[in-house]
Amino acid sequence: MPGRFGGWGAAERSPSPGSEIFPLLRFFPCGSIFRGQHRPVLPIVRAAGAFATALVLSFAAIRVLIPFLRRRKWQQVFRGKEEVRDLADLHASKAHTPTMGGLAIWLGAALATLLWSPLRGDGIAVLAIFTAFGAIGLCDDAAKVFSRSSRGMAGRRRLLLQGMAVLALFFFLRLAAADGYRALHEPLLPLPFASIPLHLPGAVALAFSFLVLAGSANGVNLTDGLDGLAAGCSLLTAAALAAIAFFENSLGIAIPLVALAGSLLAFLWYNANPAQIFMGDTGSLAIGGLLGTAALLLRQPFFLAIAGGIFVLETLSVLLQVYYFKWTGGRRIFRMAPLHHHLELGGWPETRVTTRLWLLSALFALSALALYPWRACGV
């Protein structure tokens, strides 16, 4: 498949005039080197630089953020025992853990992307949704913290804001990135050794884009219920998507994914059991938004559904529980939804649940990569 960047082992080509929108790298002291004015920069060098930069920046930001949040008592608010029964006792030790750690994830990944990405239309779109969904999550976290309630922002309002962000993405791509706009209308249905393009009309493409982005963001959000669970599964999913982005020579999409992986690795250092900080909706919505946007622009939303299989299982467990409860007048399929709480209440220690779901997430990511039609693309 002809690429825009010559493969991840080849020196990047000089961008055509006007192909870089908002070339922010020129404002950095070493920006001219990164932008290839003095010498070409290998995509592998950009990827390594983005990963290392995000790792260091997020690690440093978390070190500052934890004491800052603790002093202000901006901590996670949990549901009461009358609502979640035995789960409240299992999570009682987490009551004073600070939240909004997603700010550090966003800071590291966003700055690393600005430093190392070509910042063309697709990369700007990924970064914009990452920021917009993170802002929605931050508002949700703030509502919980300041009201001392686990409710936060109303679900319909959150979906409305996400829909507005998707609509803005749609029009931005139409005006500034024709390839990305076409990608939203032609997602690929993966089959072994082949992919079938689906041709979606405008309104259907918009609705499908919203379904992918909202599903991805809220899937990560639902998975974020145990120490390290969402961060570990998101890291594996981002790595799988980054491999596809590099293979497709989509450096503007690959760099944010690699930067996200670096930020998540730093965050896991503090979020692994026992967690010193939670990502909150600030992190989970931002991560899901980035993954969903990257998948759409790569024309691989179904690849994301496989690689992010844990997010799909967690979401399905909630939907099945809610609708079965309403349909049967109070009966349940699971002890509690999402799925990880069902396993907890079944007697599994939290660390076992997290580790087993990490392993399943790795299996899903590898399965997605195995099903990807490498041969059809010339491998």
Q: What are the structure tokens assigned to 285, written together?
A: 């919505």
Helix 280-297 to helix 102-116 angle, to the nearest 10 degrees?
40
* Beta-bridge partners for 194: 191
Nearest to 43 by CA among 255, 344, 327: 255
In three-state secondary structure terms, 158 is: helix
Q: Kindly report which listed range (63-67, 78-82, 158-162) carries the lowest average pLDDT score.
A: 78-82
Q: Return the pLDDT at 147.
A: 83
Q: Residue 105 has what pLDDT? A: 97
> Across the chain, what does the average pLDDT equal?
85
Task: Look at residue 116 in the predicted model and tell me its pLDDT.
Answer: 93
In order of 45, 194, 291, 305, 359, the CA distances from 200 in angstroms are: 37, 19, 21, 19, 35
More confident residue, 18 or 214: 214
Local confidence band at 15 (pLDDT 50, 70, 90 cut-offs): very low
Q: How far apart are CA 136 and CA 143, in angstroms?
A: 11
Residue 360, pLDDT > 70, answer yes
- Residue ranges per structural domain of the chain: 24-179+187-377
pLDDT of 357? 97
DSSP 8-state assignment for residue 75: B
- Residue 6's pLDDT is 38
Residue 98's SS3 state is: strand
Residue 320: closest CA among 347, 342, 338: 338
pLDDT per residue as tens digits for the range 50-73: 999 999 999 999 999 999 999 988
Judge contact between 315 and 222, C-beta under 8 A.
yes
With cut-offs at 50, 70 and 90, classify the pLDDT of residue 9: very low
pLDDT band for 270, please (50, 70, 90 cuts): very high
Buried b (16+ CB within 10 A) or exposed e, 28-65: eeeeeebbbeeeebbbeebbebbbebbbebbbebbeeb
pLDDT for res 26? 47
Structure token digits, residue 319: 């939907």
- Between 82 and 186, the higher pLDDT residue: 186
Helix 202-223 crosses helix 280-297 at what angle (to 10 degrees)?
Answer: 140
Q: Which two tokens stand for residue 229?
A: 């669970």
Token pair 């700010």 is at which residue? 103
Residue 20's pLDDT band (cuts 50, 70, 90):
very low
| Whether pLDDT at 376 is above 70 | no
User: Does 17 have pLDDT greater than 60?
Assistant: no
pTM of this prediction?
A: 0.87
CA dist 364 and 370 (Å) reads: 10
pLDDT of residue 27: 43
Concatenated DSSP letters for 284-302? HHHHHHHHHHHHHHTT-HH
CA 362 – CA 379 distance, rounded (Å) = 23
Per the document, the length of the chain is: 379
3-class secondary-structure state, position 29: coil
Distances (CA, A) of 354 to 104, 236, 282: 22, 14, 21
Mean pLDDT of 233-242: 97
Q: Is the peptide bond before 338 cis (omega within 30 degrees of 0)?
A: yes
- Spatial CA neighbour of 317 closest among 290, 285, 344: 344
- Let me know: does 246 contact 8? Beta carbons within 8 Å: yes
379, HSE (Cβ side, Cα atoms, 13 Å): 12
Q: Where are the beta strands (DSSP E) in 188-321?
A: 188-191, 194-197
pLDDT, residue 74, reads: 87
- pLDDT confidence of residue 128: 95
Neighbours of 194 (CB within 10 A): 12
Residue 13 — pLDDT band, cuts 50, 70, 90?
A: very low
pLDDT number for residue 36: 45
To which residue do tokens 């993170």 refer? 134
Residue 373: φ, ψ to 5°: -80, 70
Per-residue pLDDT, averaged over 174-197, amounts to 76
Closest listed residue to residue 290, CA positions, set 235, 208, 228, 356: 235
**Over the stretch 312-351, which tens digit does the pLDDT of each residue have?**
999 999 999 999 988 988 888 988 889 998 999 888 999 9
State the pLDDT confidence band at 88, using cuts at 50, 70 and 90: low
Residue with tokens 């109303």: 154
pLDDT mean over 66-87: 78
Question: What pLDDT does residue 321 have?
Answer: 93
Residue position matching structure tokens 């996400």: 162
Tens digit of each residue's pLDDT (9 = 90 or more) over 35-45: 444 455 688 89
